Amino acid sequence: MQSFRTELENPIVEKEIIDLEKKIRLFRDGKIDDDKFRSLRLARGIYGQRQPGVQMVRIKLPFGQVTFKQLLKISDISDEYAIKNLHLTTRQDIQIHFVSLDRTPELWAKLAEDDITLREACGNTVRNVTASPTAGIDREEPFDVSPYAREMFEYLVRNPICQELGRKFKISFSSSEKDTAFAYIHDLGFVPRVRVVNGVEERGFKVMIGGGLGAQPMMAYVAHEFLHEDQIIPFTEATIRVFGRVGERNNRNKARFKFVIQKIGVDEALRLIEEERPSIKSKSYKIDRDKIKPLDLPDYENVKAIEVANPLAYEIWRKTNVFEQKQDGYFCVFVKVPTGDLSTAKARILVDGIRPYAADEIRITQNQGLMIKFVKEEGLSHVYEVLTKLDLAAPGFDSVADITTCPGTDTCNLGISNSTEMARVLEKVILDEYADLIYNRDLKIKISGCMNSCGQHSLAHIGFHGSSLKAGKSVVPAAQIMLGGASLGGGIGRAAERVIKVPSKRVTKALNYLIDDFKDNSVDSELFHDYFDRQTKDYFYRLLKPLADLTTLTEDEYVDWGHTVLYEPAIGVGECAGVIIDLVATLLFETEEKLEWANESYEIGAWADSIFHTYNVFITGAKALLLDKGVNNSTQVATIKAFEENFIETGEIKLRDSFTNIIMQIKDNEPTQAFAASYLKDANEFYQIVSKVRELANS
């Protein structure tokens, strides 16, 4: 790689960039091992892609705020170093792809010229501090949370307590009780509140703690109903210190803060946080409420509304994508960006086109869109025409027809299926068959390419995540269907539940079944998650079960969305939070999932279903431990035999009988309640043994 030098106004940033260049040289020379170097580059926003030899670079934008100049600079960088595309994320970042590792220091230096950073955008760090995109203009907000998000970001970035955590740590600020920044899925989530004490108004926050999505979603707990604004940074620092000290570091799949809460309880966690107070830097930290400077607004001199080419489309767009700000006479405009992908050419035209009519600040939204603000009535038609020319004037922002998705197998190592094309197909179903749903903002559809929930499928009313199904000697791309998630407001939410897995090409039919059923059978104003509770999970399992029938597979269903060749599962080495997520961990999660299904089926009296799920608990758990020994089998019979040889006959695992005899009871017994109960008891004991063996292997 060629050396370069830069002269930045910030010497700290300049030193970091030069250090990164040196570390890359040492890595290329074999003087830094791969694991250490991976941790280093991830903490600088440089993430390995599915494609070998190139990187994804994540650009960290606090609470999604980006100026026109910064967006143009990022576009320039993508043109020069990447593929002329900007990917907007659910955490309000921008990602660019297919970047050469050797060019990342130079790239970072050019971004830093406009106060843009990569620092701690990935890795075992405090990630981007997110906030409601409407913060500052929200008609329902008690106060603007933007300065608080900015102060939190600045306090934590490069802070030593944040550099070597066991896993990532996420923080959000919502603008109002609607909780549009999803406090309930964050390690720390803040919802603004105001109280009056002795006639004096005080600002503070409801604080949620220990939430998270991923393969095992958990909803946050209430830590404080009201925490004074001067205490949010001290509380955050103490929390991060506790996480760094007592959080898991060996078993990375249990290393999020939510597992600390799960293990010791929220009361004990809060006690440890309070105990940490003597060691923190600031016992009280006053937020600079003027941290966010007033925006320069266009003067609107001689600006008059224009006639649009399609008045009807314009009116629909206004109803779904334009909202009044709390500032009289101004509107914000939401831009629906399909799958969060915006070409740099469109980004430039967008900036040039809206500059005369909007404030010099764009916010990236949690559903991968954009928000433009401080547009006057007479400027709306101008903005609409700009968006129309760019194919960005689609109505229905944040509606049923606005589906959130991660990149999936396009670039991610962990992607199991093509989530982006699936999103496009499902959006087309909505627009073609349920056009009225573009006005419905109470039903959310979200997709992830794997179970890790980067597309937030776990908080959706209707969620899908990539998976696969064995069909004979072949493998079929599949989607796990999740139902019943919801944001309930005030920092409270609920996770979607796994219902059934179907071939990917059948998700369109699944969506038809779900929407038609909801429209036909829900009562007036009933929300989908309430309908899900009323009908029960089993109702939806039976509704969708015909779609899971693999005896009716067609040739096309062996090919994933957006592809032309037969599907082959290829899970690579993942780097989310610096973690290698292997197939063994995936199989163990599936074992737990199948055990859950077995118990659920037993509870509703479906003995046969329970027994078969139980059988799969044995098979999947055995496959996981065998794979950990490097033993991989192509059939279930071979798996049973190999497990017997490698674990039972060697004495490494002791069961009440041979593994073969226990698992093969399924062949010799009627599907009665008695057998279902005894078989399930065996499976529960087996799962505990498998989990213990894996833990010992990782210790």
Considering only the C-alpha atoms of the chain, give the largest distance between any 2 of them, rounded to a whole number of Å: 87
Q: Which residues contact 680 (CB under 8 A, 6 or more apart)?
A: 598, 599, 602, 610, 614
**Highest-pLDDT range among 447-451, 597-601, 679-683:** 679-683
Q: State whether CATH 3.30.70.2500 applies to domain 1-121.
A: yes
Question: DSSP letters of 508-560?
Answer: HHHHHHHHHHHHHHPPTT--HHHHHHHH-HHHHHHHHGGGG-GGG--GGGGS-
Residue 313 has pLDDT above 60, yes or no: yes
pLDDT of residue 573: 47
For 82-129, how does the pLDDT look when each residue is reduced to its tens digit (9 = 90+)? 999 999 999 999 999 999 988 998 999 999 999 999 988 888 899 999
Contact of 347 with 75, CB cutoff 8 Å:
yes
Confidence of residue 583 (pLDDT cuts 50, 70, 90): low
Contact of 77 with 107, CB cutoff 8 Å:
yes
Domain ranges within the chain, ordered by starting residue? 1-121, 124-293, 311-389, 404-558, 582-698
For 165-197, how does the pLDDT look when each residue is reduced to its tens digit (9 = 90+)? 888 999 999 999 999 999 999 999 999 999 999
- What letter represents residue 216's amino acid? Q
Burial class (CB in 10 A: 0-12, 13-18, 19+), 635: exposed
Same fold for the domain at 1-121 and the one at 582-698?
Answer: no
Which residue stretches of 574-606 are H helix?
A: 583-603
Quickly tell me which residue has 């966690």 as its tokens: 269
Which residue stretches of 636-672 are H helix?
A: 636-643, 659-663, 665-668
pLDDT of residue 530: 97
The tokens describing 466, both together, are 């990539």
The class level of CATH for 311-389 reads alpha beta
Confidence of residue 335 (pLDDT cuts 50, 70, 90): very high
Residue 222 has pLDDT above 50, yes or no: yes
- Enter the CATH code of domain 404-558: 3.30.413.10
For 411-431, how does the pLDDT look when each residue is reduced to its tens digit (9 = 90+)? 676 667 788 899 999 999 999
Q: How would CATH label the architecture of 582-698? A: Up-down Bundle (1.20)
CATH of 124-293, one of 3.40.50.720, 3.30.413.10, 3.40.640.10, 3.30.1490.20: 3.30.413.10
pLDDT of residue 570: 58
pLDDT of residue 634: 58
Global model pTM greater than 0.85: no
For 525-575, how does the pLDDT look when each residue is reduced to its tens digit (9 = 90+)? 999 999 999 999 999 999 999 999 999 999 999 999 888 888 876 554 455
